[in-house]
């Protein structure tokens, strides 16, 4: 007798969203939490600061190199096999890393983990894209994007605690088990989305790698993420060194910022669903972030009770746009190419996460905190300009979508046709 299939009715989309968010968060918990293992890595492998930085970079480089190929594979064979196979391989690589003893092997293992774990990026996003209609998609992908900082916050807390209790081996094995659980969940519960309405022509768009709109969106995302990465990377040092907050209190501020930023992604996604636009909200968020960074720069010498809440609000403003960019990439390229489009956008944006902390820290060293915040404000402002041509494109796509709906209504003799998910 064939195994009973899970219910694939409309409510099943929430199961798919939960599985996709869990898979993304499980890997991101390791990726974003890994820097918290710096002291344990130094002691276990005898590393200096440069080598610790290289080990962190190896994980990120692995992600950047393979995100697009994973997205292309997802578009070809589907989300379920990519998420299941990729996360199973990631779990195995993590388990192997637990028994690594040399620095070279550590770097190879971390690169492999990043390269394999990147499978969850496009696959989870494409799954959500397929199961949720346009009027829910911003909210749903906002939840999926919320899982990333939440996973990172959990990893930052859990990894050092696990390493303190049982060493690096215990930390890596525990997260190998977590990723394995995510892989099993994908295998059991991830299902292909219902097919799009055959009466409505699919989105006609070039391949994402050849579509200048995706590259423009990625460039704007990279500029926005520069502000995000710099704030997240240095707010603790700023508050501790300049405002005399204790290290524990400054870290608590960072955790609060990440939590509020995660909630902000859901709120921004829901608002974009009501507006039925993604690009204009991204532009507004970029302007808000630029203005708040200028305000933070102007008040760097203000008392801690004043500048700390401002720094939190500023940090949150740099985080809320991520889900909208992810959604916009999928909608520009259409459902059939969503995995590749999301992966290209994500890969370009990831460059900012590598460049910004290095450049911001160096600029603080040679100038001052206020100057660094002021210059950083130019990044989201530049993103606003880069996004400008996409506003008209989004309006044209909205007109084309209405035309497709009208054509479908004529063909069926009905004036009421459900909104397409593509």
Does 248 share its domain with 131? no
Which residue in this structure is represented by tokens 């001052």?
Answer: 368
The overall average pLDDT reported for the chain is 86
Whether 120 and 246 map to the same domain: the answer is no
- Please tell me whether residues 110 and 185 are part of one structural domain: yes
Whether residues 167 and 212 share a domain: the answer is no
The answer to whether residue 385 is domain-embedded is yes
What is the tens place of the pLDDT at every residue in 11-50? 888 999 999 999 989 998 888 788 778 778 888 888 886 7
Number of domains in the chain: 2
Cβ atoms within 10 Å, residue 134: 17
Q: How far apart are CA 285 and CA 264, in angstroms?
A: 11
Q: pLDDT of 383-399, one tens digit each?
A: 999 999 999 988 888 87
Q: Is the pLDDT of residue 352 over 70?
A: yes
The total of other beta-carbon atoms located within 10 Å of residue 296's CB is: 25
Q: Determine contact, residues 70/123, Cβ cutoff 8 Å.
A: yes
d(CA 400, CA 173): 50
In a domain, 376, yes or no: yes
In a domain, residue 2? The reply is no
Q: In the structure, what pLDDT confidence band is assigned to residue 381 with cuts at 50, 70 and 90?
A: very high
3-state SS class at 121: helix
Q: Is 193 left (phi over 0), alpha (psi -120 to 50) or beta?
A: beta
CATH number of the domain at 381, please: 1.20.1250.20
Flag whether pLDDT at 421 surpasses 60: no
Residue 64's domain comprises 12-189
What confidence score (pLDDT) does residue 138 get? 85
Q: What is the DSSP string of 135-177?
A: HHHHHHHHHHHHHHHHHHHHHHHHHHHHHHHHHHHHHHHHHHH
In a domain, 5, yes or no: no
Residue 421: inside a domain: no
Residue 219 shares a structural domain with residue 286: yes
In a domain, 179, yes or no: yes
User: Per residue in 173-218, pLDDT tens?
Assistant: 999 999 999 999 999 999 887 776 555 556 677 888 899 999 999 9
Domain finish residue from 159, 189, 219: 189
Arithmetic mean of pLDDT, 368-375: 94
pLDDT at 309 over 50: yes
Can you give the pLDDT at residue 91? 96
Same domain (yes/no): 288, 223 = yes
Same domain, 112 and 174: yes
163 and 228 together in one domain: no
Cβ 90 vs Cβ 62: under 8 Å: no
> Does residue 252 lie within any of the structural domains?
yes
Most confident of 116-125, 301-310, 327-336: 301-310
pTM (two decimals)? 0.81
**CA end-to-end distance (rounded Å), the chain:** 35
Indicate left, alpha or beta for 413 from its phi (over 0: left) and psi (-120 to 50: alpha). left
Q: What is the pLDDT of residue 200?
A: 55
From the list 152, 186, 167, 164, the residue with the least C-alpha distance to 30 is 152
């Amino acid at each position: 007798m064939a195994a009973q299939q899970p219910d694939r009715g409309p409510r099943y989309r929430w199961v798919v969203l939960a599985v996709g968010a869990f898979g993304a968060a499980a890997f991101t918990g390791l990726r974003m939490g890994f820097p918290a293992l710096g002291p344990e890595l130094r002691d276990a492998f005898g590393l200096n600061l440069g080598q610790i930085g290289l080990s962190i970079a190896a994980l990120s480089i692995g992600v950047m190199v393979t995100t697009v190929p994973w997205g292309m594979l997802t578009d070809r064979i589907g989300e379920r096999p990519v998420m299941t196979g990729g996360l199973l391989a990631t779990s195995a690589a993590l388990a192997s890393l637990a028994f690594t003893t040399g620095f070279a092997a550590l770097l190879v293992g971390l690169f492999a983990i990043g390269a394999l774990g990147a499978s969850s990026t496009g696959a989870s996003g494409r799954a959500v894209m397929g199961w949720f209609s346009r009027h829910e998609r911003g909210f749903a992908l906002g939840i999926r994007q919320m899982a990333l900082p939440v996973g990172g916050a959990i990893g930052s807390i859990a990894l050092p605690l696990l390493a303190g209790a049982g060493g690096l081996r215990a930390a890596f094995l525990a997260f190998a088990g977590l990723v394995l659980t995510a892989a099993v969940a994908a295998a059991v519960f991830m299902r292909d989305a219902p097919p799009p309405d055959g009466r409505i022509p699919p989105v006609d768009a070039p391949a994402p790698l050849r579509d200048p709109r995706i590259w423009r969106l990625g460039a704007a995302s990279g500029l926005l993420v520069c502000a995000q990465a710099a704030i997240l990377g240095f707010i603790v040092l700023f508050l501790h060194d300049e405002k005399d907050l204790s290290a524990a209190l400054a870290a608590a501020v960072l955790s609060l910022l990440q939590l509020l930023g995660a909630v902000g992604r859901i709120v921004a996604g829901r608002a974009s669903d009501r507006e039925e636009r993604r690009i204009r909200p991204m532009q507004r968020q970029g302007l808000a972030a630029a203005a708040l960074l200028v305000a933070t720069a102007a008040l760097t010498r203000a008392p801690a009770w004043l500048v700390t809440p401002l720094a939190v609000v500023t940090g949150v403003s740099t985080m809320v746009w991520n889900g909208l960019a992810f959604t916009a990439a999928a909608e520009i390229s259409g459902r059939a190419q969503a995995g590749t489009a999301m992966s290209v956008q994500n890969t370009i944006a990831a460059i900012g996460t590598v460049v910004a902390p290095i450049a911001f820290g160096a600029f603080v060293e040679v100038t001052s905190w206020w100057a660094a915040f002021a210059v950083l404000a130019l990044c989201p402002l530049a993103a606003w300009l880069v996004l400008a041509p996409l506003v008209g494109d989004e309006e044209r796509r909205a007109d084309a979508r209405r035309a497709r709906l009208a054509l479908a209504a004529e063909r069926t003799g009905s004036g009421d046709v459900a909104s397409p998910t593509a």
